[in-house]
Amino acid sequence: MALRGVDALVITDRSNITYLTGYTAKSAYVPQAVVISIQQEEPTFILRKMDAPAALHETFMARDKVIGYPEALVGDPDVDGYDAIIDFVIDVGPSNRGVGLEIGGLFAPSAEKFKARLPRARIVDCTGAVTRIRMVKSDLEISRMREAAAITDAGIMRASEIIRAGVREVDAVSEIMKTLVRGANGKPGTWLATPYFITSPRTGAAHITWTEDILRRGSQVNLEIAGVRHGYTAPMSRTFSIGRPSDRLRRVHEAQMAGLQAGLGAVRAGRTCHDVARAIYGTLDKKGIKKESRCGYPIGIDWMEKTASLKEGDLTVLKPNMTFHLHLGNWAIEEDFGYLISESIRVTESGVEVLTSAPRQLFELPSAA
């Protein structure tokens, strides 16, 4: 904060709030902020009154550092929770100081409101400041992610048991969800990230999910799931074939597997995101496969961190305990054909720890239950 010349920092990104406080309740659809002020020893969490009890239950914060703003600020076209947050900022420090905001994640009218109501303050854009710090995990965070990864693994294995010709997609996916919530090793999922369960002929699409159909012999399922432990995720993708995979699918799988191996081999503290991407694209090129999308992104709280990308030109240097979803997802092979394989990984001094551990294969499943 001193480096950026701010003596109040207003954190509104919901994942950053989780990082700073432990709060995971899903209340970010209305304004809320953790305000860190050099005038005060402890941060203050300002949120909607009906959500304040969740902050008291979930966080370390003292009772007088959790402020529930009145319900009258909800659903009013003229005022909202940001007015309470700005009132607090005005109350705790001089009006002409530097105030740090995560402007990149504020809706335009809210950013304007901060500027209009703090006319003498110097507004400093601190978007990404906390998010970048989150990139290197503590050992405690890593242990949560290992727990999440074990749940993800269990979900993939359950999928391999339940995906069969003749089964309704919703019956398969609801079994997978059940596993993701019941958890693994006595550690339940603490939230459900709804699975992407994408079947032929829609496997070229990245973010749709199941249909009302019945799984068929010859169909392909692209599954992308993530276990969740106290906000932390460990995503993973696998591709399933009901019956013998087509030659096209088998060829793509072999190329993408080679790409994944090359990517894993390139990960090490001191290398860059670019280096990892280069290793993957180079291998795919040799195998005659074009992949246009990036090869992954940092993970942690709430799935994706908006910081680096595993793509060419991203010179972010890898450090121990950075974590990524190393994603060989390739949706655009043809409009109706895509393929997925990915792992959640941790960067180590000497290489990589793969957090997810379900078999790294194209699952070939029996046509009949």
Say which DSSP state 322 is in: B
What tokens appear for 145 in the block?
Answer: 């992610």
Closest CB 261 distance from its own copies, rounded Å: 22
Q: How far apart are the first and last CA of the chain?
A: 59
Binders in 293-322 for its own copies, by CB under 8 A: 293-294, 297, 304, 308-309, 311, 314
Beta bridge partners of 124: 100
Binders in 326-365 for its own copies, by CB under 8 A: 329, 331-332, 335-336, 338
Looking at the Cβ atoms of 286 and 290, the one nearer to its own copies is 290
Closest CB 30 distance from its own copies, rounded Å: 10
Looking at the Cβ atoms of 39 and 143, the one nearer to its own copies is 143
Binders in 62-91 for its own copies, by CB under 8 A: 68, 70-72, 74-76
Binders in 183-202 for its own copies, by CB under 8 A: 183, 187-192, 194, 196, 202
Contact stretch for its own copies (CB under 8 A) within 18-26, 38-46, 90-98, 239-247: 18-26
User: Does 208 engage in binding with its own copies (CB under 8 A)?
Assistant: yes
Looking at the Cβ atoms of 77 and 119, the one nearer to its own copies is 77
Could you write out the DSSP letters of every residue in 24-70? --S-TTS--EEEEETTSSS-EEEEEGGGHHHHHHHS---GGGEEEEP
Looking at the Cβ atoms of 161 and 335, the one nearer to its own copies is 335
Closest CB 235 distance from its own copies, rounded Å: 14
Could you write out the DSSP letters of every residue in 181-235? HH-BTTB--SS--PPEEEETT-TT-SS----SSB--TT-EEEEEEEEEETTEEEE
User: Does 26 engage in binding with its own copies (CB under 8 A)?
Assistant: yes
Helix (H) or strand (E) holding 275: helix 273-286
Looking at the Cβ atoms of 104 and 166, the one nearer to its own copies is 104
Closest CB 145 distance from its own copies, rounded Å: 17
Closest CB 350 distance from its own copies, rounded Å: 27
Looking at the Cβ atoms of 174 and 261, the one nearer to its own copies is 174
**If we measure between CA atoms, which residue out of 210, 208, 213 comes closest to residue 168?**
213
Closest CB 191 distance from its own copies, rounded Å: 6
Q: How far apart are CA 185 and CA 147, in angstroms?
A: 8
280: left (phi over 0), alpha (psi -120 to 50) or beta: alpha
Closest CB 358 distance from its own copies, rounded Å: 20
User: Does 27 engage in binding with its own copies (CB under 8 A)?
Assistant: yes
Binding residues for its own copies, rule CB under 8 A, total 74
User: Does 182 engage in binding with its own copies (CB under 8 A)?
Assistant: yes
Looking at the Cβ atoms of 216 and 348, the one nearer to its own copies is 216
User: Does 139 engage in binding with its own copies (CB under 8 A)?
Assistant: no
Q: Using only the alpha carbons of the chain, give its radius of gyration.
A: 23
User: Does 171 engage in binding with its own copies (CB under 8 A)?
Assistant: yes
Question: Which of 1, 22, 38, 56 touches its own copies by CB under 8 A?
Answer: 56
User: Do the strands 303-304 and 330-334 form a parallel or antiparallel pair, or are they unpaired?
Assistant: unpaired
Q: How far apart are CA 4 and CA 47, in angstroms?
A: 26
Binders in 224-263 for its own copies, by CB under 8 A: none
Looking at the Cβ atoms of 38 and 49, the one nearer to its own copies is 49
Binders in 98-137 for its own copies, by CB under 8 A: 103-112
Looking at the Cβ atoms of 94 and 104, the one nearer to its own copies is 104
Helix (H) or strand (E) holding 9: strand 8-11
- For residues 301 and 26, the answer to whether their CB atoms sit within 8 Å is no
Compute the residue count for the chain: 369
Looking at the Cβ atoms of 174 and 348, the one nearer to its own copies is 174
- For residues 283 and 260, the answer to whether their CB atoms sit within 8 Å is no
**If we measure between CA atoms, which residue out of 26, 117, 23 comes closest to residue 65?**
23
